[in-house]
Chains A and B, each alone.
Chain A
Amino acid sequence: MNLTGLGFVALFAGLIIAFIFLGQRKGAKPAQFRPLEALQSLPQTVGDAVETGRRLHISLGSGSVGQTDTAAALAGLTVLDQISEVTVVSDKPPIVTTGDGTVMLLAQDTLQHVYARQNAQDRYDPTSARVAGLSPISFGAATSVMVKDESLAGTVLVGSVGPEVVLLTEASQRAGVTTLAGSDDPAAQAVLFAAAEAPLIGEDLFAGGAYIGRHPGHVASLRAQDIMRLLIGVVIIGGVLLKTVGILK
Chain B
Amino acid sequence: MKIRPGNLLLTAIAIGVGVITLLGYFVNWPVVIIMRLQFVAWASMLAAVAVCIGALNLAQVHLKKMMTGAPGWFYSAFLVLTLIFTVGVGIAAPLAGWGHGPTNTANAFIFHNVQSAIGTALAGLLFFFLVFAGYRLLRRRPSIMLVTFIVVAVITLIGLAPLPAGFPDFGLRDLRIWLAQVPAVAGARGLLLGVALGVIATGLRILLAVDRPYGE
Give the B-binding residues of A (Cβ under 8 A).
1-3, 5-6, 9, 12-13, 16-17, 20, 64-67, 71-72, 74-75, 77-78, 99-102, 104-106, 109-110, 113, 127, 130-135, 137-138, 140-141, 145, 148-150, 163-164, 166-167, 169-170, 173, 184, 186, 189, 191, 193-195, 201-203, 205-207, 209, 215, 217-218, 220-222, 224-225, 228-229, 232
Chain B residue with Cβ nearest A131:
B54
A-B contact pairs, 9 of them (CB 8 A): A16-B204, A109-B213, A131-B55, A166-B126, A167-B129, A193-B145, A202-B190, A202-B194, A218-B210
CA of A1 to CA of B27, assembled, Å: 5
The answer to whether B61 and A102 touch across the interface, beta carbons within 8 angstroms, is no
Which of A20, A141, A150, A194 lies in contact with B149, CB distance below 8 A? A194
Contacting pair B198 A225 (CB below 8 A): yes
Count contacts on B: residues with CB < 8 A to the other chain. 65
Would A13 and B70 be within 8 Å (CB), given that A6-B26, A109-B215, A229-B197 are in contact?
A: no
A215 CA to B149 CA, complexed, in Å: 34
A104-B57, A145-B72 known; A232+B191 contact, CB < 8 A: no
Main secondary structure of the interface of A (DSSP, over half): helix
Main secondary structure of the interface of B (DSSP, over half): helix
B70 close to A203 (CB less than 8 A): no
Instruction: Please tell me if the beta carbons of A66 and B46 are within 8 angstroms of each other in the complex.
Output: yes
Q: Given A13-B204, A141-B122, A191-B130, A202–B50 Cβ distance below 8 Å?
A: no
Q: Which residues in window 161-216 of B have CB below 8 A to A?
A: 188, 190-195, 197-208, 210-211, 213-216
Contact in complex: A127, B60 (CB < 8 Å) = yes
Do B44 and A203 have beta carbons less than 8 Å apart? no
Excluding A134-B54, A169-B133, 8 further A-B contacts by CB distance (< 8 Å) are A1-B26, A6-B27, A71-B199, A104-B53, A104-B57, A109-B213, A164-B123, A232-B193
